[in-house]
Copies of this chain bind each other. A is one copy, B any other.
């Protein structure tokens, strides 16, 4: 990502400052203070905020596993028998020593962990998250609490994206077990994962191949199915065969294999705005999933632009387009509407897609082959992502005004993006 580009240019950071009082830009200070204060209080009291504060994102481990959607051993199955020991509850009890938050955040979700002795001891504290714990735990068949936390610490120190590192190691293990890569690694083999993380960071030996990431690694060693993702980006910590919203969300994500462009557990697990059974694939469920994915893609595009935390959108008492409209109106004296806010999100999402159209690569929305197979074990046994994807993607294109992954001229026109019609 951007960090790697900066690193390759020897750019360590960008410092920006100004001389104007930002608060002086706010036209209605009283309303602004009132609106932000109310919102902050509401967020602080929301049940999801409290749970996040107590356990951090890893409160998801046991929940997602109990649904049968916890990708295990490179998405071989959706149920990890060792999940309990890498769950938020277990780690809270054994390893969390501090809880932090970003400045002024009413949630404060950051759990700091320690491993003070034993073979996986590390110096100081480590920030730890659900996605990382899944990627370096369940997805590697690794249920050793301290080994997982050590790997998270190491990944952070070495500058890895933990999800990509976990997926790459998982691909490597699968290749090795299939005899395509000559490396004595196995699932649940943390000593090797630690070695390989270091070798990958420094492109030492086989690490030079691993540093290319899961997609290129699987291609190089002739086993495309060992890469599980879309647009060359590995999937994160939810199996779209069991949490079917992701059969649309992951696949259509412009960044590829991304849970943060439309976080479907919001409705499938947290019931926001309404509860939808993650395993349901009736025509009605498909329709609802597609509608919610599109809505969420616009709201998340707004979050990325305005820069508000997506954890604010996980509770009915959270922050949504109506709050955004209120805040903008309070700040700048506008009279924008929630719908106008979402349309900005839609424009962003279409613009992102136009980038792929321009580059001529990754235009097609594709479900990786493994997701068409049935989950072999656990609560979601027998489920695949095929139906939700096949039926959902048609509905999705139709609702978006797209054809084969591309916006039509009419869609660009509707969004005021005619200037980009030359790309079509």
Contact = CB atoms under 8 A, between A and B. Distances in A.
Interface of A: 116, 118-124, 147, 150, 157, 183-184, 189-192, 194-195, 198, 202, 204
A186 to B, nearest CB: 9
A158 to B, nearest CB: 9
Nearest to A194: B194
A121 B198 contact: no
Given A198-B198, A202-B202, A119 B119 contact: yes
A191 B122 contact: yes
Contacts of A183: 123
Contacts of A198: 198
Nearest to A186: B117
The secondary structure that dominates the A interface is loop
B147 A192 contact: no
A119 B118 CA distance: 10
Nearest to A204: B157
B119 A184 contact: no
A64 B118 CA distance: 29
Contact of A192 (B121, B189, B190): B121
State the copy count for this chain. Answer: 2
Contact of A122 (B147, B195, B204): B195
Contacts of A123: 183-184, 192, 195
Nearest to A118: B191
Contacts of A194: 194
B120 A119 contact: yes
A191 B121 contact: yes
A29 B184 CA distance: 49
A190 B119 contact: yes
A373 to B, nearest CB: 30
A147 B119 contact: yes
A269 to B, nearest CB: 35
Contacts of A191: 118-122, 150
A189 B121 contact: yes
Contacts of A195: 122-123
Contacts of A157: 204
Nearest to A121: B191
Contacts of A120: 119, 191
A151 to B, nearest CB: 12
A184 B147 CA distance: 18
Nearest to A198: B198
Contacts of A122: 191, 195
Nearest to A190: B119
5 contacts: A118-B191, A121-B189, A121-B192, A124-B184, A157-B204
Considering residues A121, A122, A183, A189, which has the most beta carbons from chain B within 10 angstroms of its beta carbon?
A121
A172 to B, nearest CB: 12
Counting from the closest, the 8 A-B pairs by CB-CB distance are A119-B119, A121-B191, A119-B191, A198-B198, A123-B184, A120-B191, A121-B192, A202-B202
A157 B198 CA distance: 12
A144 to B, nearest CB: 9
A194 B202 CA distance: 16
A147 B123 CA distance: 18
A153 to B, nearest CB: 9
Contacts of A190: 119
Contacts of A119: 119-120, 147, 190-191
A150 B194 CA distance: 12
Considering residues A118, A195, A202, which has the most beta carbons from chain B within 10 angstroms of its beta carbon?
A195
